[in-house]
Amino acid sequence: MPGAARANETEALSHPCRRRFLACLAPPLSSGESGFAPLFSGRDLEGWILKGGRGRGYIVEDGAIVCPADGGGNLFTVKQYADFILRLEWRLWDGGNNGVGIRAPLAGDVAYSGMEIQILDDEAEVYQRMPIKPTQYTGSVYDVFPAKPGHARRNGIWNQYEITARGRRVTVVLNSVMVCDARLDTITDPAVLKRHPGLLNKAGHIGLLGHGTRVEFRHLRIKELA
């Protein structure tokens, strides 16, 4: 009988042994992830919009957002964010160059119209020859606030970013090390503010800023702050 079947099913699910079995199947809930929402499903780019795409733009492979070497452009969240904690993983290969845009508009060069948290293969020969500046190291707020070098992993090894934007302060933690602590109000030079109007933005999109080198992203999630 249907009613009896449902009753038996309910009884089975409520049995203590059954509940313990189901609990073992469920992934553990990390208290450190409380309040975070995924930005990427691991399957498709729903919730994202590509601007200024080149070649293949961005694709999804093996649960990661990939900027292929023959792709690029700016991939933005449809939603805008003001104050938040953003967590993600990324990896690159020799000469890799990308960035994470925050409080960004959909138009313009995000390194200036918004803020770009740099992702760069700092130790690549091409960049060592320049040489790059501290405000271009991985983890810097590009061209404005420097980052501590030497904490990024190269050659296809995953890195962890935690980017926190709270009011007029932006911090970047790379592989458990705070590499940048940007106090935005310390920038008072009119010339810098004219070149970087995005420093004054209160909200905007999250973006992945491709430059025609292969860089991969996964486990993107965000916690909005009151």
Q: What is the pLDDT along the chain (226 residues), one digit of tens a residue?
A: 434 433 433 333 344 343 333 333 333 334 589 999 999 999 999 999 999 999 999 999 999 999 999 999 999 999 999 999 999 999 999 999 999 999 999 999 999 999 999 999 999 999 999 999 999 999 999 999 999 999 999 999 999 999 999 999 999 999 999 999 999 999 999 999 999 999 999 999 999 999 889 999 999 999 999 8
Please name the amino acid found at residue 52. G
* 165 belongs to a structural domain: yes
CATH number for the domain harbouring residue 107: 2.60.120.560
Q: Would 149 be classed as within a structural domain? A: yes
Whether residue 28 lies inside any domain: the answer is no
Assign residue 165 a region: left if phi > 0, alpha if psi is -120 to 50, beta otherwise?
A: beta
- The total of structural domains in the chain comes to 1
Rounded to two decimals, what is the model's pTM?
0.85
Strands 159-166, 169-174: pairing kind: antiparallel
Does the residue 66 lie in any domain? Answer: yes
pLDDT value of residue 29:
37
- DSSP one-letter string for 8-68: HHHHHHHSHHHHHHHHHHSPPPPGGGTT-EES--SS--TTEEEES--TT--EEETTEEEE-
Q: Are 86 and 100 in contact (CB under 8 A)?
A: yes
**CB-based contact 160:176 (threshold 8 Å):** yes
In a domain, 80, yes or no: yes
Q: 66 is in which domain, residue-wise?
A: 35-224
Given CA atoms 210, 211, 216, 221 in this order, what sign does their dihedral have? negative
Distance spanning both ends of the chain, measured CA to CA = 52
Supply angle C-alpha 103, 42, 222, rounded to 5: 30
Give the per-residue pLDDT at 86: 99
Cis status of the peptide bond prior to 131, with omega within 30 of 0: yes
- Specify if 18 maps to a domain: no
129 Cβ contact partners less than 8 Å away, ≥ 6 residues apart: none
Report the chain's C-alpha Rg in angstroms. 21
Q: What is the pLDDT of residue 193?
A: 98
The answer to whether residue 13 sits within a structural domain is no
Contact of 216 with 91, CB cutoff 8 Å: yes
E strand map for the chain: 37-38, 48-51, 59-61, 64-67, 73-81, 84-92, 97-104, 115-120, 159-166, 169-174, 177-183, 204-210, 215-224
| Residue 173 backbone phi and psi in degrees, to 5 | -110, 120
**Would you tell me the crossing angle of helices 2-14 and 16-25 to the nearest 10 degrees?**
70
Q: Is residue 87 part of a domain?
A: yes
The per-residue pLDDT for 32 is 81
Q: Is the dihedral of CA 19, 25, 26, 27 positive or negative?
A: positive
